[in-house]
Amino acid sequence: MYYYYDTCAIAKAFHLEAGSKVIQNLLDEDISATYVSELTYTEFYSTTYKKLRSKEIRNEATAIQVCRKFEITMQYLNLVNVDAVIYTEGKNLIARLGNRFDQNVRCTAFGCLHSTRSTI
């Protein structure tokens, strides 16, 4: 089985919050079958430094350490290049699903999109 995680799901593996343990366990199962968008790099750094500004992360040294761990983990994940088709399919999926699912499901909604694509 393949797993696709968007940035909010990946962030749970590095920032203790609701759903963190679930994501950590899934990553531990088979990290080689895990896919993330190439945009995850930028979005993860943005998320981490937003947490620093909002004091969820205590100091910049901790933010740097979190980003280093993220970079190490990213070496083992598969990157999905984002093109116009993925943007369009993602927008359509989100519009179709709307508010029907809880936050954890929305964070991994793109997994449904990508698990059905023959390119993965």
The pLDDT tens digits of the residues spanning 65-93 come to 999 999 999 999 999 888 888 778 878 87
Partners of 37 in the β-ladder: 80
Summarize the confidence of residues 11-38 as an average pLDDT: 88
Which residue range(s) make up the domain with 33?
3-115
Residue 117 has pLDDT above 50, yes or no: no
Q: What is the domain-level CATH number for residue 31?
A: 3.40.50.1010
CA distance 72 to 44: 13
Kindly list the distances between the CA atom of residue 120 and the CA atoms of 6, 50, 54, in Å, as whole numbers in the listed order: 15, 32, 37
Domain count, the chain: 1
| pTM of structure | 0.70
- Per-residue pLDDT, 99: 66
37: left (phi over 0), alpha (psi -120 to 50) or beta: beta
Is there a domain that residue 120 lies in? no
Summarize the confidence of residues 53-57 as an average pLDDT: 96
- CA-nearest of 13, 10, 29 to 21 is 13
